[in-house]
């Protein structure tokens, strides 16, 4: 499943970069994330709970690795999620470009989903992943506003 | 012989129905002794992966969990499964046998392979414990596309083979190249016929009880083959066959995958029962069944037909790929069926067919109703339809010109069938099948009036007529024991199982006819190895032919004993004794009579002696082992209406003219055909398994895998013609799969006919509304 | 219930086929499992556990429901009728007799659920057309019969009850 798009943030790329790599921020922003911590350089581990159609409260153990870091422009994120209801694996490429005082983030992810979630939730995967992403990006945007408001100025 | 009309050919209501209708019939999941432990399997989500580690500690510590096992815990018990069917000895054939172990070891080769087994106090707790299991799998690229699997660089599923080729075999007769050179036209196409599940409403299940004091294992299993299961379990568990009893009680639909033997669960549950000294139970759930139960198969054919100017077949050449899934326990059965059934009712002078069997990271493929025959029929019938179009012939006419005539029987096709014997059609009379079908569906009137009138009114109606053969009734053998009890009840025991096809009634009819009793007084026992321990099972449409004949033979022997004893008691010659109305009597003097129950008592004296050379009681056992199968045949005709905008297809009429030899119970035969057609309609139109490129099945539930409902299946109009088989005394042939075999071919012809003029060619099955819509959109000149 | 402490259970009092039954069950116990394994009424069968095949159909206060989609605790204080409640002793219910006469079943696994849907259906539609019957059956999956025998059985039952 390919997921791609773009999202505009109101802070500079350096600020957005810091936000994206802060596990506490991500944990708060992504719906269903129960915990997320940096366990080694560029390696995050945690848990996430998702509902996809008939599969409710599917819990995943997540491992996220960051690679090809070129701050504050781009990075590659590899995700490995495993749980009783299936697995998800994928790679996302994220690019940040300065845009009129703010930042334009472009992302493209190739996600593989398997197990029960794929077997009974197939129709909904598209919708659910978009919904989660939208909610997550909106939450990130809010957090950024919050930080800007608190005086994290360029 | 009997006063009342014969039991044979009568629509007798079934003996077993009262139990089934009142919910008193025992199915495997109904077996629930107190203290039963329950099993859940931890299955791989990945279709292809290396197993780096499995951790069961947490699962084992969960309250209510009794034990948990991986392959390592099985020790010497772990072995690759037995090859169930030796490959048919086609000259020059290549066959690599790779079978599945009971729990995955080293690597996983398809999604759903079991990695661990949990035993707990309830199924709910066992499933809870699955969440405790940590498994470390290193995913490998998965392959499902047949051509990709054979391409260089494809992920290799079984390392030792160096590639994914499982088998290759070629059968030939005559000189196809010469036929091709002499042909007026050569019609060549690529066909694709895809997978489906058997969809029995009862999932699989097994209950195993080890009695440590009697040292006996009792197993209830949803199997079509209790005797081979008993034999296999005795062997792998190191027990005597007499220590193992396997019972196949009422089974909620077989259709083939329940004849697949020694499934991992069938070995592991009894093993666990023995090890734990307990009763252990596993019932499959529906989602598991999409992975853990075998299913039917994908084939891709590159086929061509060489025809003369008058439409006569000069030869056929076929090269096809067959998907066996991750393992190949069933030998070459299915592709050989395809190869043989392609020849159909026709005179095919030259034939060159080669198939390649391919391993893929998909669930294992073993026979499902039709077992590869439908693929052969689809290819041949489609090629004939395209030839007819090119030659300007009517589809019925081109078939008529190629039918084997009655003087050509028995007809040896010069190639081998799935039972490793030469493919010889025993008897058949094909032209009447075609003519009756055309007549019944009013073919001429449809083409001349009905269709054009509908078209003028904006409706697209189409008609399809196709033919098929079904090889049935193969060996090796079955047996039966018939006993007249002192109560007057007749007891019949045979080794085959019953999954809804009415053996409790049809076998009773056969025996009742011989012994002159009411069908309701004949009690039939099937599927219990303690009752009858010799036989193979219910598969390949052979129940009535092989087991039914054995019942007949055993009943005849009992009849002879009864007559001899009655003659002695009544003081007449044996020739003057007849059996009727549950007794033996003197012909012409019916008042001189002795009841069968009384006769049975007298045959078992408490005093006196049984004479040498005779046996006590009125009982006999007989076996029947045909050296080859008998060929049933039929023609299906279907009228459809297609909505060209939405691509929805409605079936307006469905006619089957079928010849399965002598019909014992018309209601039951009609039921088999009606049910088979429903299955065929599903496979032709509604049922499609959807896989992604990583071997993930995307529709593993009845929400998204669509079985046809009462709104989708019309009542089939059935006509029976009977060409008795010369191979058994009753003249019967099998019928279990007939309905399902030609449906896709009929469907394709009818839909193309409805959309004639658009250039549509249907070269695949199943064809869902989506797919038909896509095909229509892709045509030049399609309205967008 | 095996493996569960009494503290985690709820009491359920439900009348099944006219007989009040009382048990302490886990809240997550499905009605289908309750009927089959707690009460030993194995006539109701389970085909899919996701409410599509209809094999588990029973009557809840006279209405057809899927027992695999309900929890036993939801039936507390209600009335359930299963296939075991249709026949009177040795006498088959007229619908059961019609199924036998018309060869409306083969393996019999989906049959109890079908019967439980048809009982209220026939009560409400005593003279159904073939289209009505097929519509009523459309919520049931059968792999054996192709439905024709079931349709005939319903017609037969309707006629036997005096409705041509």
Residue B300 has pLDDT above 60, yes or no: yes
Claim to verify: residue C17 and residue C73 sit in the same structural domain = yes
Tell me which chain B residue has its CA closest to the CA of residue C43: B23
φ, ψ of residue B506 in degrees (nearest 5): -65, -40
Claim to verify: residue C98 and residue C78 sit in the same structural domain = no
Claim to verify: residue C74 and residue C22 sit in the same structural domain = yes
Alpha-carbon distance B492 to nearest alpha carbon in chain A (angstroms): 45
Both tokens assigned to B183: 């042909």
Q: Do C52 and B675 touch (CB under 8 A)?
A: no
Strand-by-strand arrangement of the B618-624 sheet: B522-526, B490-494, B478-484, B618-624
Q: Do B699 and A86 touch (CB under 8 A)?
A: no
Chain C residues 133-162 with a CB less than 8 Å from chain B: 133-135, 137-151
CB contacts of B16 in chain C (<8 Å) are 108
H/E element, B397: helix B395-402
**In A, what residues contact B, Cβ < 8 A?**
84, 86-87, 89, 112-116, 118-120, 122-123
Domain membership flag for residue C25? yes
CB contacts of C110 in chain B (<8 Å) are 201, 252
**In B, what residues contact A, Cβ < 8 A?**
45-47, 111, 130-131, 139, 287, 290, 690, 692, 694, 696-701, 703-704
Both tokens assigned to C67: 């027992």
pLDDT digits (tens, 9 = 90+) for B241-264: 999 999 999 999 999 999 888 999
Q: Using N-to-C axis directions, what is the helix angle for C94-101 and C148-160, rounded to 10°?
A: 130
pLDDT of residue B1: 42
Coil vs helix vs strand at B755: coil
CA distance linking residue B371 with residue B377, whole number of Å:
12
pLDDT digits (tens, 9 = 90+) for B129-159: 999 999 999 999 999 999 999 999 999 999 9
Is the ipTM of this structure higher than 0.95? Answer: yes
Q: Do C29 and B124 touch (CB under 8 A)?
A: yes
CA distance linking residue B518 with residue B508, whole number of Å:
9
CA distance linking residue B765 with residue B686, whole number of Å:
10
Claim to verify: residue C118 and residue C139 sit in the same structural domain = yes
Residue B628 has pLDDT above 90, yes or no: no
pLDDT of residue A138: 82
b/e sequence B478-487, b meaning 16+ C-beta within 10 Å: bbbbbbbbbe
For strands B299-307 and B313-325, give the pairing: antiparallel
Nearest by CB: B674 against C28, C45, C148:
C148
pLDDT of residue B784: 46
Q: Do B699 and A119 touch (CB under 8 A)?
A: yes
Tell me which chain A residue has its CA closest to the CA of residue B694: A112
End-to-end CA distance of chain B: give it in Å, rounded.
71
Alpha-carbon distance C91 to nearest alpha carbon in chain B (angstroms): 9
DSSP tag of A3: E
Tell me which chain A residue has its CA closest to the CA of residue B704: A120
CB-based contact A29:A133 (threshold 8 Å) = no
CA distance linking residue A45 with residue A34, whole number of Å:
11
Claim to verify: residue C31 and residue C79 sit in the same structural domain = yes
Alpha-carbon distance B566 to nearest alpha carbon in chain C (angstroms): 36
Our CA angle for B15, B19, B20, nearest 5°, is 100
Q: What counts of helices (H) and strands (E) characterise chain A?
A: 3, 7
pLDDT digits (tens, 9 = 90+) for B157-214: 999 999 999 999 999 999 999 999 999 999 999 999 999 999 999 999 999 999 999 9
Q: Do B707 and C2 touch (CB under 8 A)?
A: no
Claim to verify: residue C75 and residue C98 sit in the same structural domain = no
H/E element, B322: strand B313-325
CA distance linking residue B85 with residue B483, whole number of Å:
34
H/E element, B776: helix B769-777
CA distance linking residue C55 with residue C67, whole number of Å:
9
Domain membership flag for residue C2? no
Q: Band of the pLDDT at B626, cuts 50, 70, 90?
A: confident
Domain membership flag for residue C3? no
Domain membership flag for residue C107? yes
Nearest by CB: B287 against A113, A116, A123:
A116
pLDDT of residue C1: 57
Q: Does domain A2-148 have CATH number 3.30.300.180?
A: no
Residue A151 has pLDDT above 70, yes or no: no
Average pLDDT of span B410-430 = 89
CB-based contact B556:B514 (threshold 8 Å) = yes
Alpha-carbon distance C15 to nearest alpha carbon in chain B (angstroms): 18
CA distance linking residue A141 with residue A25, whole number of Å:
11
Alpha-carbon distance B434 to nearest alpha carbon in chain A (angstroms): 44
Burial class (CB in 10 A: 0-12, 13-18, 19+), A126: exposed
Beta bridge partners of A97: A104
Alpha-carbon distance B665 to nearest alpha carbon in chain C (angstroms): 11
Burial class (CB in 10 A: 0-12, 13-18, 19+), A63: middle
Domain membership flag for residue C101? yes
φ, ψ of residue B107 in degrees (nearest 5): -150, 160
Average pLDDT of span B309-323 = 98
Claim to verify: residue C78 and residue C138 sit in the same structural domain = no
CA distance linking residue B413 with residue B174, whole number of Å:
10
- Hey, of C1, C3, C41, C111, which one would you mutate to test binding to chain B, going by the most B CBs within 10 A of its CB? C3
Which residues touch A95 (CB under 8 Å, ≥6 apart)?
A73, A74, A105, A106, A107
CB contacts of A120 in chain B (<8 Å) are 287, 700-701, 703-704
Domain that holds residue C74: 10-85
How far, rounded to the nearest angstrom, does the alpha carbon of residue B138 sit from its chain's CA centroid? 37
DSSP tag of B275: H
pLDDT of residue C163: 79
Chain C residues 32-61 with a CB less than 8 Å from chain B: 36-37, 40-50, 52-53, 55
Burial class (CB in 10 A: 0-12, 13-18, 19+), A10: middle
Q: DSSP string covering B473-495, please? A: ---S-EEEEEEE-TTS-EEEEES
- Dmax (CA) for chain B in angstroms is 93
What's the total number of domains in chain C?
2
Neighbours of chain C (3+ CB pairs under 8 A): B
pLDDT of residue B2: 45
B447-451 LR contacts (CB < 8 Å, sep 24+): B447/B394, B451/B753
Claim to verify: residue C32 and residue C68 sit in the same structural domain = yes
Average pLDDT of span B87-109 = 95
Domain membership flag for residue C112? yes
In this predicted model, which residue has the larger pLDDT, B647 or C108? C108
CATH code where residue C132 lies: 1.10.150.120
Q: Mean pLDDT of all residues in chain B? A: 94
For strands A2-9 and C57-60, give the pairing: unpaired
Domain membership flag for residue C1? no
Which of C85, C109, C131 finishes a domain? C85
CA distance linking residue B138 with residue B128, whole number of Å:
24
CB contacts of C2 in chain B (<8 Å) are 64, 121-122, 125
CA dist list (Å): C28 to B118, B633, C20, C45, C71: 20, 52, 21, 19, 6
Instruction: Count interface pairs B-C at CB distance under 8 A.
Output: 190
CA distance linking residue C101 with residue B14, whole number of Å:
8
Residue B783 has pLDDT above 70, yes or no: no
Which residues touch B365 (CB under 8 Å, ≥6 apart)?
B195, B294, B295, B296, B297, B323, B324, B325, B330, B334
Both tokens assigned to B397: 């006419």
- For chain A, what are the domain ranges? 2-148
In this predicted model, which residue has the larger pLDDT, B733 or B519? B519
Coil vs helix vs strand at B618: strand
- How many C-beta atoms surround the C-beta of residue B449 within 10 A? 11
CB contacts of B711 in chain C (<8 Å) are 134-135, 138
Average pLDDT of span B548-557 = 96
Q: Which domains does chain B have, with CATH numbers?
A: 17-25+475-624 (3.30.365.10), 31-140+198-292 (3.90.1170.50), 145-196+295-392 (3.30.365.10), 426-473+628-784 (3.30.365.10)
Alpha-carbon distance B222 to nearest alpha carbon in chain C (angstroms): 12
CB-based contact B336:B86 (threshold 8 Å) = no
Both tokens assigned to C39: 């009460």
Percent of chain B with pLDDT over 70: 99
CB contacts of C111 in chain B (<8 Å) are 20-21
Percent of chain A with pLDDT over 70: 95
CB-based contact B460:B642 (threshold 8 Å) = yes
Coil vs helix vs strand at B779: coil
Q: Do B697 and A118 touch (CB under 8 A)?
A: yes
CB contacts of B45 in chain A (<8 Å) are 86-87, 114-116
Q: Do A120 and B111 touch (CB under 8 A)?
A: no
Q: DSSP string covering B89-158, please? A: --TT-EE------SS-BSEE-STT-EEEEEEESSHHHHHHHHTT-EEEEEE------HHHHHSTTPPPSS
Claim to verify: residue C80 and residue C105 sit in the same structural domain = no
Which residues touch B289 (CB under 8 Å, ≥6 apart)?
B197, B203, B204
Q: Do B668 and C103 touch (CB under 8 A)?
A: yes
pLDDT digits (tens, 9 = 90+) for A13-45: 998 898 888 888 888 777 788 888 889 988 989
Coil vs helix vs strand at B685: helix
Q: Do C53 and B201 touch (CB under 8 A)?
A: yes
In this predicted model, which residue has the larger pLDDT, B27 or A64? B27
Q: Do B290 and A120 touch (CB under 8 A)?
A: no
CB contacts of B667 in chain C (<8 Å) are 103
Nearest by CB: B121 against C2, C92, C137:
C2
CA dist list (Å): C63 to A111, B290, C21, C81, C123: 44, 31, 19, 9, 11
What predicted TM-score, i.e. pTM, was given to this entire model?
Answer: 0.92
- How many C-beta atoms surround the C-beta of residue B404 within 10 A? 22
Claim to verify: residue C43 and residue C100 sit in the same structural domain = no
Neighbours of chain B (3+ CB pairs under 8 A): A, C
Average pLDDT of span A128-152 = 77
b/e sequence C11-45, b meaning 16+ C-beta within 10 Å: ebebebbeeebebebbeebbbbbbbbbbbebbbbb
Q: Which residues of chain C have pLDDT under 70?
A: 1-7, 164
Average pLDDT of span B326-333 = 95
CB contacts of A89 in chain B (<8 Å) are 139
Claim to verify: residue C114 and residue C156 sit in the same structural domain = yes
**Nearest-CA neighbor of C154 among C73, C99, C112?**
C99
Tell me which chain B residue has its CA closest to the CA of residue C56: B201
């Amino acid at each position: 499943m390919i997921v791609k798009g773009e999202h505009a943030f109101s802070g500079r790329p350096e600020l957005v970069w810091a936000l994206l790599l802060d596990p506490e921020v991500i944990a708060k922003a992504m719906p269903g994330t129960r915990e997320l911590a940096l366990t080694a350089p560029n390696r995050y581990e945690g848990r996430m709970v998702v509902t996809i159609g008939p599969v409710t409260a599917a819990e995943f153990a997540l491992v996220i690795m960051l690679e090809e870091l070129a701050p504050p422009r781009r990075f590659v994120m590899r995700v490995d999620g495993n749980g009783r209801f299936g697995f998800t694996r994928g790679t996302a490429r994220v690019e940040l470009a300065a845009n009129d005082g703010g930042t334009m983030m472009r992302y493209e992810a190739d996600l593989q989903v398997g197990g029960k979630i794929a077997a009974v939730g197939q129709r909904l995967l598209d919708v659910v992943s978009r919904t989660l992403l939208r909610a997550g990006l909106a939450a990130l945007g809010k957090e950024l506003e919050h930080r800007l408001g608190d005086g994290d100025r360029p | 012989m009997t006063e009342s009309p014969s039991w044979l050919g009568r629509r007798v209501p079934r003996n077993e129905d009262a139990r089934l209708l009142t919910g008193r019939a025992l199915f495997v999941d109904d077996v629930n002794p107190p203290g039963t432990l329950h099993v859940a399997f931890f299955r791989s989500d990945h279709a292809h992966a290396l197993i780096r580690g499995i951790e069961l500690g947490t699962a084992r510590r969960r309250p209510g969990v009794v034990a948990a096992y991986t392959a390592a815990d099985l020790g010497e018990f772990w072995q690759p499964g037995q090859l169930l069917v030796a490959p048919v000895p086609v000259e020059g054939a290549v066959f690599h046998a790779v079978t599945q172990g009971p729990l995955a070891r080293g690597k996983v080769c398809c999604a759903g392979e079991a990695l661990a087994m949990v035993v707990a106090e309830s199924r709910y707790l066992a499933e809870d414990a699955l969440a405790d299991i940590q498994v470390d799998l290193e995913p490998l690229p998965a392959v499902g596309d047949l051509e990709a699997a054979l391409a260089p660089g494809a992920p290799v599923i079984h390392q030792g083979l160096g590639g994914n080729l499982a088998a290759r075999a070629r059968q030939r007769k005559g000189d196809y190249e010469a036929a091709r050179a002499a042909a007026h036209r050569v019609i060549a196409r690529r066909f694709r016929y895809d997978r489906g599940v058997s969809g029995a409403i009862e999932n699989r299940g097994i209950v195993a009880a080890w009695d440590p004091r009697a040292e006996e294992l009792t197993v209830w299993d949803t199997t079509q083959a209790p005797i081979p299961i008993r034999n296999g379990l005795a062997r792998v568990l190191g027990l005597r066959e007499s220590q193992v009893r396997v019972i196949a009680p009422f089974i909620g639909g077989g259709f083939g995958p329940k004849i697949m033997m020694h499934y991992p669960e069938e070995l592991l549950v009894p093993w666990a029962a023995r090890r734990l000294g307990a009763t252990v139970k596993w019932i499959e759930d529906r989602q598991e069944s999409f992975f853990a139960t075998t299913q039917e198969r994908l084939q891709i054919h590159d086929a061509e037909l060489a025809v003369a100017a008058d439409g006569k077949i000069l030869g056929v050449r076929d090269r096809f790929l067959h998907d066996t899934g991750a393992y190949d326990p069933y030998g070459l059965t299915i592709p050989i069926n395809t190869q043989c059934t392609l020849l159909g009712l026709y005179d095919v002078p030259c034939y060159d067919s080669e198939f390649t069997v391919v391993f893929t990271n998909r669930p294992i493929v073993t026979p499902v109703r039709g077992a590869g025959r439908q693929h052969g029929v689809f290819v041949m019938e489609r090629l004939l339809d395209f030839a007819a179009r090119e030659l300007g012939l009517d589809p019925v006419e081109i078939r008529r010109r190629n039918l084997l005539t009655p003087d050509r029987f028995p007809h040896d096709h010069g190639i081998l069938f799935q039972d490793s014997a030469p493919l010889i059609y025993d008897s058949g009379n094909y032209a009447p099948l075609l003519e009756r079908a055309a007549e019944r569906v009013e073919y001429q009137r449809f083409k001349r009036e009905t269709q054009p009138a509908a078209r003028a009114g904006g409706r697209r109606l189409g008609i399809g007529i196709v033919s098929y053969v079904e090889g049935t009734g193969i060996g090796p053998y079955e047996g039966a024991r018939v006993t007249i009890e002192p109560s007057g009840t007749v007891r019949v025991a045979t080794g085959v199982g019953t999954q809804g096809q009415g053996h409790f009634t049809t076998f009773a009819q056969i025996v009742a006819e011989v012994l002159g009793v009411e069908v309701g007084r004949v009690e039939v026992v099937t599927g219990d190895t303690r009752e009858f321990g010799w036989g193979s099972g219910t598969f390949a449409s052979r129940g009535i032919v092989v087991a039914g004949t054995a019942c007949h033979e055993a009943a005849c022997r009992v009849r002879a004993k009864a007559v001899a004893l009655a003659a002695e008691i009544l003081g007449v010659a044996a020739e003057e004794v007849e059996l009727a109305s549950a007794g033996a009597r003197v012909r012409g003097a019916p008042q001189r009579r002795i009841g069968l129950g009384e006769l049975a008592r007298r045959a078992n004296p408490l005093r006196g002696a049984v004479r040498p050379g005779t046996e006590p009681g009125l009982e006999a056992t007989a076996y029947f082992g045909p050296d080859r199968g008998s060929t049933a045949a039929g023609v299906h005709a279907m009228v459809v209406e297609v909505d060209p905008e939405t691509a929805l297809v409605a079936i307006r009429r469905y006619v089957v003219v079928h010849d399965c030899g002598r019909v014992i119970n018309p209601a039951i035969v009609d039921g088999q055909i009606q049910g088979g057609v429903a299955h065929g309609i599903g496979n032709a139109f509604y049922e499609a398994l959807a896989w992604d490129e990583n071997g993930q099945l995307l529709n593993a539930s009845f929400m998204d895998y669509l079985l046809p409902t009462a709104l989708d299946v019309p009542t089939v109009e059935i006509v029976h013609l009977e060409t008795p088989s010369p191979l058994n005394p009753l003249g019967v042939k099998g019928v279990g799969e007939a309905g399902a075999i030609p449906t896709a071919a009929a469907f394709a012809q009818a839909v193309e006919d409805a959309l004639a003029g658009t250039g549509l060619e249907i070269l695949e099955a199943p064809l869902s509304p989506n797919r038909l819509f896509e095909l229509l959109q892709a045509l030049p000149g399609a309205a967008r | 219930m095996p493996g569960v402490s009494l503290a985690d259970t709820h009491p359920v009092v439900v009348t099944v086929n006219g007989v009040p039954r009382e048990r302490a069950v886990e809240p997550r116990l499905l009605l289908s499992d309750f009927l089959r394994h707690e009460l030993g009424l194995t006539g109701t069968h389970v085909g899919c556990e996701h409410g599509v095949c209809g094999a588990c159909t029973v009557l809840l206060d006279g209405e057809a429901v899927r027992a695999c989609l309900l929890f036993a605790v939801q039936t507390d204080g209600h009335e359930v009728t299963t296939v075991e409640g249709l026949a009177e002793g040795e006498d088959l219910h007229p619908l059961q007799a019609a199924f036998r006469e018309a060869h409306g079943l083969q393996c019999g696994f989906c049959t109890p659920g079908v019967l439980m849907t048809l009982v209220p259906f026939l009560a409400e539609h005593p003279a159904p057309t073939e289209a009505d019957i097929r519509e009523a059956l459309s919520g049931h999956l059968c792999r054996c019969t192709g439905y024709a025998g079931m349709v005939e059985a319903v017609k037969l039952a309707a006629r036997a009850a005096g409705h041509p």
